[in-house]
Copies of this chain bind each other. A is one copy, B any other.
Amino acid sequence: MATNGDEVVVSNKQVILKNFVNGFPKESDMYLNTTGSISLRVEQGSNAVIIKNLYLSCDPYMRNRMKLSDDPEFATYPPGSPIEGFGVGKVVESGYPELKKGDLVWGVTGWEEYTLIKNPQTLFKINHTDVPLSYYTGILGMPGITAWAGFYEICAPKKGEYVYISAASGAVGQLVGQFAKLFGCYVVGSAGSEEKVELLKKKFGFDDAFNYKEEHDLDAALKRRFPQGIDIYFENVGGKMLDAVLLNMRTCGRIAACGMISQYNLENPEGVHNLMNIVTKRIRFQGLLAFDYFPQYAKFLQVVLPSVREGKVVYVEDVAEGLENAPAALIGLFSGRNVGKQVVVVARE
């Protein structure tokens, strides 16, 4: 740490995107810059905040920010800069009256040790620390709100309905399944390994689960698990899986789509052929992004936090240690290497 008058400059390792990514992302699309530094002072009159990053969240949507795109919802990461994502941090300096040094926050931050946050109103202050802090990248953060809003608001469930979840052991899927079980639904999930399937059945209490990689005919696989059809599909995958699900939806079924991970690394997304089922079965297929529901965060926390404390809802994380392991952790999402929510620990306090 170098002090220069009032200035405190510290070294600041960063995960930098080298260039736009086409196809399957590789660790080498990013690199760890160990030579950078950051001033831990905010400019006089600025309302910026500097946070020390503790936990970083690896989320599939980040793949969409690695490619050149004009999508305003998923602004392209500028090559040469640290990538961004959700994370948990500690305020080390604040020009923002609602946050003070030492406060814990979650929100969008940089993949680096320290981040200057110029729009601190986007940060959520963490008031409850009797649960693991990393949970604010998952069950108590963006994936949690996605699962909660997607299941309760978009899917509008009824007791006893048949619920199917793809990528079911992931950050969002494991929660949707547990919410649906607590609500009184019949819940089946799919995932990409036996270990994950066991987790779904044993740890998360799904009624049934299967390894989609072992199923040559997804339509048949779903028909076996849902002879009566699917009322609610929580879509995380897209492509062939969606096509098979459409064949198995029931009349007036609902599909909440928060992602289509199977498509992100394809130059051209797969074609989905069975959309006429949306008409004949009067299906509602609706997309959602968590940030539309951020204004309801307090309400969400009021519902979910007690369930976490009482152990009614559990959460499995896959924790990578150190910023240097962050690129591999992120890329692992797309091969399904992670078991549960993928988190990176930058520092524990």
Contact = CB atoms under 8 A, between A and B. Distances in A.
Contacts of A73: 251, 280-281
Interface string A274-314: 11111111111111110010000000000000000000000
Interface in A3-24: none
Contacts of A273: 268-272
A32 interface: no
B279 A258 contact: yes
A196 B70 CA distance: 35
B284 A286 contact: yes
Interface centre among A271, A277, A279 (most CB of B within 10 A): A279
A273 B281 CA distance: 21
A132 to B, nearest CB: 29
A242 interface: yes
A238 interface: yes
A71 interface: yes
Nearest to A291: B282
Contacts of A279: 257-260, 287-289
A74 interface: yes
Interface in A220-278: 238, 242, 251, 257-260, 263, 268-278
A275 B260 contact: yes
Given A268-B273, A272-B272, A273-B269, A287 B292 contact: no
Nearest to A271: B271
Nearest to A72: B251
Nearest to A280: B73
A171 to B, nearest CB: 15
Contacts of A263: 276
Nearest to A281: B287
Interface in A108-150: none
Given A274-B269, A276-B260, A286 B283 contact: yes
Interface of A: 64, 71, 73-74, 238, 242, 251, 257-260, 263, 268-289, 292
* Leading 5 A-B pairs by shortest Cβ distance: A271-B271, A279-B287, A278-B287, A285-B285, A284-B286
